Chain A
Amino acid sequence: MPDPTGLELLAGGLRARLGDDAVVGTAHSNDYGSIEIQPQHISAALALLRDEGYRFLSSVHGADEYPHEPRLAVHYELLDMNRPDRVAIKLRVPVDAPHVESVAPSWPTADHQEREIYDLFGVVFDGHPDLRRILMPEDYEGHPQRRDFPLGGEPVLFTHHEAEGLHYAE
């Protein structure tokens, strides 16, 4: 993990190349550093950090920051295998316009992970080669990992429910 100074230097580098408002903020605690950026700069930011040595994208995952707005967060955990060092890039998009540029074309590992975020949080990755649900059934409605999605209460589709006219979507 970069120290707080190293993290600020990385954030400063991103500001210099992408504009002052590209970086929303940085957070550093207990050896874990993350940089929050504006969603539209994600591809450029990851490309810049790749030049800095962070060539391995170890994880892409989502989170719901409910009740804070914008709610839906996407985290990109980058790794520099030579030093070794990690840094997280984070972005947030609102629920009513959850669009993020896909990084799967330049980082193939993001393919399934972006599909998972799309499936469970409903973040739409523009430019993804094959954006479909991955874990939930294709005809499922809703995005279950969102914080306002209730736990339980899921109708289970057994044959005796079919007789009652009960289906997944209801």
Chain B
Amino acid sequence: MTAPTDTTGKGPSDYRKLEESVTLSPVANPSGLGQSEELLTINMGPHHPATHGVLRLLVTLDGEIVRDLRPLIGYLHTGIEKTCEDKPYWKVVPLVERMDYLAYYFNAMAYVHSVEELVGIEVPKRAQYLRVIHMELNRIMSHLFWFGTSCLDIGAMSLLWYSLRERETILDLFESASGQRVHTRYFQIGGVIEDIPGGGWVDRCRAFVKELPTRVAQFRDLIYANEIALQRLKGVGIVDSQRLLDLGVTGPLLRASGVEWDLRKAQPYSSYDDFEFGVPLGAVGDNFDRMAVRLAEMEESAKIIEQALDGLPEGPVIVDDRKVALPPRHELATSMEALIHHFKLVTEGFRVAPGERYSAIEGPRGELGCFVKADGSSKPARVHIRDSSFVNLQAIADMCRGGYIADLIATLAMLDPILGGIDR
């Protein structure tokens, strides 16, 4: 650590002189310098305020230096994948939403996308655009929450309130569109449940994405000049891109190390090829780049939302196939056929011919894949979510080994693990 530069012009203060006059008695084997014989293994978590959930880390310390690290997980395991096997296809959506609780639209999208490809459903264009709008709002929301809590971890408390204020606007938009702030169950197999409401929803959304770049610039101003934060970010936790690829790391973590890989660009789904947006990349792959990439991604998401609102096509918001999608409510009072379809869907659900498929989307934390296996009945024989946090967490040891324990907290925050998704 370098001494702070003297800006007053009066020379070192009395306190500084006193501090410098102190000589420490020589230590034969100072801790934190080289491999000492005595290693200390300690538990961090599962209940630790800075682990972003019930994550337990077994840390082997050599003084202040982290020599080894092992994540222990499973404290939040609720067997969602098992429960999915007991629900008809369309009733699985609210279950998978609850896995990664900051990316509920993405979880739902990964699942419905997989089922739609398995069954062969063509989603109406308006529904695809509405999905894009909500997913990108969700991406901004997830990054905002990550940003606020991560800044809290590295000592910048005020940013939590600023980022949560912006997040609140997004949650209000979700609430107006779907009735729920989190776990919205907005995406259905075949489309979305309802059109976005009139009464200024679009205007509020536009106002938000117009203001967001200003807010992100303010975030940057607050954190990029914060010496304490920069000490924990710059040059810390670097893992080269090949090692990250071997570990299966995707998303902002991979892009921060300079690999241009974004499934929205590489394998476009849900009309992502209609929009123009950039893929922010980092140069070194340290914690600072991870933060910078996510902040820039928020701005790119805002661009996508703006284009999607401009080009929002008219038309239905859910597929017109009554075998997979519920009939409109008003038809139930007049049409016997609609009533039968409604009854069949609600009691049994629709059947899917035997088959299996894995498809992936770009979640806020990387590749969010969903494997669905059908056995011919109305319930899936297997639903597996390849959660990006679960795979990314394997890189934590590589990122932290050889660094300070204080850097571990910052690196963990920049990894952005969501334990609900990891444990499922």
Contacts and interface: CB of A to CB of B under 8 A. Distances in A.
Nearest to B387: A59
Interface of B: 73-74, 77, 79, 81-83, 85-86, 117-118, 120, 245-248, 250, 261, 266-267, 355-360, 367, 369, 371, 373, 381-382, 384, 386, 390-391, 393-394, 423-424
A96 to B, nearest CB: 21
Interface string A101-139: 000000111011100100010000000000001111100
A62 to B, nearest CB: 8
Contacts of B384: 59, 61-63
B86 A151 contact: yes
A59 B118 contact: no
Interface of A: 29-32, 34, 55-59, 61-64, 75, 77, 81, 84, 86, 88, 107-109, 111-113, 116, 120, 133-137, 144-145, 147, 149, 151
A58 B248 contact: yes
Contacts of B359: 32
Contacts of A62: 384
A163 to B, nearest CB: 25
11 contacts: A58-B367, A59-B358, A59-B369, A59-B386, A75-B356, A86-B358, A109-B246, A111-B394, A147-B381, A151-B85, A151-B86
B358 A88 contact: yes
A63 B382 CA distance: 6
A141 B248 CA distance: 30
Contact of B247 (A109, A144, A145): A109
A88 B424 CA distance: 23
A32 B246 contact: no
Contact of B246 (A107, A113, A120, A144): A107
A135 B386 contact: no
A56 B118 contact: no
A31 B355 CA distance: 12
